[in-house]
Amino acid sequence: MRGRLIFPFLAELHRLDTRAVAVEDPDGAGPLTSGYDPDFKEPVLVDTNDDGIGERVRKEHPPVRIPCQVEPEAFEALQEYASGNSPRSRLRLVFHFADLERLGLVDSASGDALVRVGDRLGGVFDVTGALVQAVRTPPGLFVTEAKPIGFGLFMPHPRRNLLLVTFDDRETAAPRGVSG
């Protein structure tokens, strides 16, 4: 008895492939030898189209749809900057470890969920697969926290059962007082 999700939906998750990013040479003959920044532990930004704005070097695993419970906090709330509007969004999804285990998204050696910081949400679908809410990228919604919660409901054999995942957007405008 591990409980179940209430009013389930399907989240389309695009997991960051850090190994593929690390071996990618994003600028060819340029100074970079990897698409992964060793100091900041995230994909580097490279201006690939000469518009003066760096695009994130990103490689992803094939998308996977995972049953979830949706807990919205903010969706495209107005946040104005000197250089324009950067809508703020935050969404929390609750995943059941039984579903993650069934989909191969739990590391068997450590027990860690393979939903990690930097993974991207592509959309939310109903249980029949119909689109409920697409997530525009950019700005996108990315995992900023994946926290196991809900340890044990069944006392004779208690187990962890839920993973709370927070998705936040990335700012698309510069804050007031910041100039380029």
Burial of 10 (0-12, 13-18, 19+ CB in 10 A): buried
Neighbours of 111 (CB within 10 A): 11
Model pLDDT, residue 79: 52
The helix, strand and coil proportions of the chain, stated in percent and rounded to the nearest 5, come to 5, 40, 50
Higher pLDDT, 174 or 81: 81
Model pLDDT, residue 39: 78
User: Cis bond leading into 138, ω under 30°?
Assistant: yes
Instruction: Answer whether 25's CB lies under 8 Å from 35's CB.
Output: yes
Token digits of residue 150? 């809900």
To 10 degrees, the CA torsion angle through 52, 58, 62, 64? -90
Mean pLDDT, range 24-43, rounded to an integer: 73
Say whether pLDDT at 90 is over 80.
yes
The pLDDT-based confidence of 82 (bands split at 50, 70, 90) is: low
Instruction: Note the pTM of the prediction, 2 decimals.
Output: 0.78
Residue 115's H or E segment, with its range, is: none
Model pLDDT, residue 59: 84
Say whether pLDDT at 176 is over 70.
no
pLDDT tens track for 93-142: 999 999 999 999 999 999 999 999 999 999 999 999 999 999 988 778 99
Higher pLDDT, 8 or 83: 8
Average pLDDT of the chain, as a whole number = 81
Model pLDDT, residue 152: 64
Token digits of residue 127? 């249980």
Model pLDDT, residue 179: 41
Higher pLDDT, 92 or 51: 92
Say whether pLDDT at 8 is over 70.
yes
* CA–CA separation, 63 and 85 (whole Å): 29
Say whether pLDDT at 174 is over 90.
no
